[in-house]
Structure 1
């Protein structure tokens, strides 16, 4: 099966040896997104809600570049440096997703790239 590399300037460019997403057939594997502003490659200014929204916006941009949208995400992984922010993730996620919601995991981690407080990756299925 051929692999297609997905890239868009509407999401942060890779800060390592990875692609923003890889499409294999109708399945798209989205790399982790932290709350970087694509134009500056700096963490978004503001509170935790602003960081969560930036991550969802970045994921949405990569989904669109791959021919889909957030509604096509089958599995979402959320990484938080403080699980106390999990209720806020749920609250903000309700602004970006409608039922049926994707499968999801929330994982507490010690640290994330660039000292971000949140990172998310996903698996999207098209069609």
Structure 2
């Protein structure tokens, strides 16, 4: 049995997918891009602002399910430019504090809305 996840505090899906799906004790979040849910616009075109908005969106979805970043077990980061890896690492780490989920990071040629970063998450409900 699956449950679709939705919150107004994160951007609406821009295609035929949901913000997240719960299956058993796992929550799978769709890739979050740096869209401000209030304006439905992409935030400034710099990697720091975009990384922080993505993490805010992730936290909003987790919060809607009474979860926190401590529930994250795996992330995948998609970067437009791997040269931004160190900056992303620093900003991402600030949001996780001392929590260290498993992670993959890959460079991609293009992302939706031509953003610089997208992050997808798997979280445990326990």
Same fold (TM over 0.5): yes
Which residue is 1:79 aligned to?
Answer: 78
Distance 1:94 1:115 in 2: 24
Q: Give, in angstroms, the shift of residue 46 of structure 1.
A: 5.1
1:7-65 Cα deviation digits (max 9, x unpaired): 00100000000000001121000000000010111101252100000000001111111
Which residue is 1:64 aligned to?
Answer: 63
Which residue is 2:34 aligned to?
Answer: 35
Distance 2:50 2:95 in 1: 14
TM-score (norm 1): 0.95
Q: Is the 8 A contact 1:71 1:98 kept in 2?
A: no
Name which of structure 1's ranges 42-51 and 17-26 shifts more when overlaid on structure 2. Answer: 42-51
Answer yes or no: is 1:5 the counterpart of 2:4.
Answer: yes
Which residue is 1:48 aligned to?
Answer: 47
Which residue is 1:88 aligned to?
Answer: 87
Secondary structure, in 3 states, of the residue corresponding to 1:31?
Answer: strand
Name which of structure 1's ranges 90-99 and 71-80 shifts more when overlaid on structure 2. Answer: 90-99
Q: Give, in angstroms, the shift of residue 89 of structure 1.
A: 1.2
Q: Give, in angstroms, the shift of residue 122 of structure 1.
A: 0.6
Secondary structure, in 3 states, of the residue corresponding to 1:63?
Answer: helix
1:58-99 Cα deviation digits (max 9, x unpaired): 011111112211111000000001001110111112211133
Gaps of at least 5 residues in structure 2 are: none
Distance 2:64 2:2 in 1: 15
Aligned length: 126
Which residue is 1:109 aligned to?
Answer: 108
TM-score (norm 2): 0.96
